[in-house]
Amino acid sequence: MKKTLFFSAIVAALGGLLFGFDTAVISGTTSWLSTVFELSKFELGFTVASALIGTIIGALTIGKLSDKYGRRYVLFILAIFYFVSAVGTGLAWDWYSFLFFRLIGGIGVGGASVVSPMYIAEISPAKLRGRLVAVAQLNIVLGMLIAYLSNYVISELALGAIEWRWMFGVEAVPAAIFFVFLFSTPRSPRWLIAKNLIDEAKVVLDKCGTDSGNIEDEIIEIQKSLDLQHHAIKEPFFTKKYRIPIMLAVMLALFNQLSGINAVLYYAPDIFNMAGFGKSAALLNSMGVGGVFFIFTVAAMAVIDHMGRKKIMIVGSIGYIISLSTIAWAFLKYGDNFTETGSMIVLVSIFLFIASHAFGQGSVIWVYLSEIFPNRVRGRGQSLGTATHWIAAAVISWTFPLIAEVSGGYTFAFYAACMVLQLFWVIFKMIETKGISLEAIQKQLGIE
């Protein structure tokens, strides 16, 4: 693997690390936010979902901007958004200012979830693409793990009423590092070719590698896929020829959130409290969630370009069904009177759930969304899939506190039923993309 390719993928994936940190950090602050801002369950759900509203905005708008100005340029902007959000939430003077800065951070998360994997996919040869795009997912998980660890360490410092401010504020450090490192990365060769900057594209392909082994042949193949003489870069997106990748993207993104993953990640300490664990134990268990997530994401990275996307999704789906069904049973059986055995059943089942997600959907979604759309509409396609993901995440995260208060068991039973549907969808509808160039995937989908 070439040094420039590896370094650029790692740097772009720092957007994922900040994505993960920003997503998970609020899980350790919900009790403080409820107290400080005197929030009802509905208002707490909205507070958590406020960042997700930002992710929808970021996901919907960033694709066109990245097509116009380039993937790397947009990553610079997102780094600034992360920094402003970290400082702003740490210094928030009331609930409304807090919501505003969380919204800014959400725009950064939504944008990074589109651009980071797309950029990595476009600089990577096909044989390495799955693993390198999965680096973005690995960094998302690493960011979550760092957030859980940071929350626990800060909580142990007994800082009192300013504890939650430090939990949010520390994100400014990795955001600044991300911004600085971006200066050392090249622009996407496929975006450069779309803008007719052929000489610069040749330099980048030489540094990052090609599918064909010949730079000139690679450029010709990319130009054919763009085919700008017959397809304007602003051509309509919602057309019959793009129906298959659009449906694949939308269904994959919906199923990702119908697993309940964001409800678990955002409310992990609360779920453990519901299952009979104390505050300190709940935060430690949340760190365990991050650790399991990280280990199984690494495992998925090792095999995603060998097993393929589809087989990994099947394994993950089965794990989802088993773990979610068990969690649902435990909450329905024990209710508000959890025994030590019941608490351990929930703990082990949540760890299995996280492992299933990390190995399956979590590792596949960003790789798959970055692969299935043609070069000329990839920005818009990635935005559609990502926006669908975040809209579903916002709905589930906003409603979870209300629904779980009434019946946590039936909530998890609903997620389990959705994962049964996902299993059938993967088996009968999902196409395999491992080891195929982005241009060849376009042909496989019948898009000229």
What is the DSSP secondary-structure string of 93-105? -SHHHHHHHHHHH
The per-residue pLDDT for 424 is 97
Run of H or E residues at 362: helix 361-371
pLDDT at 385 over 50: yes
Q: How many domains does the chain have?
A: 1
pLDDT at 394 over 90: no
The per-residue pLDDT for 405 is 67
Integer Cα distance of 21 and 167 in angstroms: 10
211 or 75, which is more confident? Answer: 75
The per-residue pLDDT for 408 is 66
The per-residue pLDDT for 230 is 46
The per-residue pLDDT for 280 is 63
Band of residue 435 on the pLDDT scale cut at 50, 70, 90: confident
The per-residue pLDDT for 234 is 62
Angle between helices 361-371 and 95-123 (to 10 degrees): 60
State how far the alpha carbon of 112 is from the alpha carbons of 16, 73, 366, 371, in Å: 7, 12, 11, 16
pLDDT at 1 over 70: no
**Which of 242, 258, 238 lies closest to 425, judged by CA?**
258
Per-residue pLDDT tens digits for 30-77: 778 888 888 887 788 788 778 878 888 988 888 788 888 888 999 999
Tokens representing residue 388 in the block: 């669908």
325 or 240, which is more confident? Answer: 325
Domain that holds residue 326: 3-444
pTM, to two decimals? 0.76
The per-residue pLDDT for 229 is 42
Per-residue pLDDT tens digits for 156-180: 887 888 888 998 999 999 899 999 9
Integer Cα distance of 441 and 431 in angstroms: 10
pLDDT at 279 over 80: no
The per-residue pLDDT for 181 is 93
The per-residue pLDDT for 5 is 87
b/e per residue 158-171 (b: at least 16 CB within 10 A): eeeeebbbbbbbbb
Average pLDDT over residues 255-281: 80
Average pLDDT over residues 301-305: 86
Highest mean pLDDT among 84-88, 167-171, 197-201: 84-88
The per-residue pLDDT for 172 is 92
The per-residue pLDDT for 123 is 85
The per-residue pLDDT for 240 is 87
pLDDT at 154 over 60: yes
Q: By percentage, how much of the chain surpasses pLDDT 70?
A: 94
Burial class (CB in 10 A: 0-12, 13-18, 19+), 40: exposed
Average pLDDT value over all residues in the chain = 85
Per-residue pLDDT tens digits for 325-347: 999 999 888 887 888 888 899 99
User: What's the CATH code of the domain at 8?
Assistant: 1.20.1250.20
Q: Which of 241-255, 361-375, 403-417 has the lowest mean pLDDT?
A: 403-417
Band of residue 29 on the pLDDT scale cut at 50, 70, 90: confident
Eight-state DSSP code of residue 28: G
The per-residue pLDDT for 247 is 95
Which amino acid is residue 5, in one-letter code? L
